[in-house]
Amino acid sequence: MSQEETKPFIIDEERKLIKLGKHSKAVTLPKRWIEFQEWMKGKTLSEVYIAMDHFIVIAPPEEREEARKMLKEFLEKRREENGKR
């Protein structure tokens, strides 16, 4: 990957929910995101960390705290903005 390709990017696409068992559903992760994570970390991605509330943040396990912090800050800002209206 070139340096241009490593700049922050957002994959913005809809993903279908797939029925998984009796009570669960799953969503696949974009191949490009997995390949980028593996390239950045230099190892195969075998698990992810998920932080959720109204939104879901998916991150490599070693970035758990950053994902949790990002979701918390986003939700606090959103609540503040909604309270001002």
Name the pTM for this structure. 0.68
Torsion 77-78-83-85 (CA) sign: positive
For 39-80, the pLDDT digits (tens) are 988 999 999 998 888 888 898 889 999 999 999 999 999 889
For 6-41, the pLDDT digits (tens) are 556 677 788 899 999 999 999 999 898 899 889 988
**CB environment 54-73: b (16+ within 10 A), e (fewer):** eeebebbeebeeebeeebee
What pLDDT, on a 0 to 100 scale, did the predictor assign at position 84? 65
Cα distance between residue 14 and residue 30, in whole Å? 10
The DSSP call for residue 28 is P
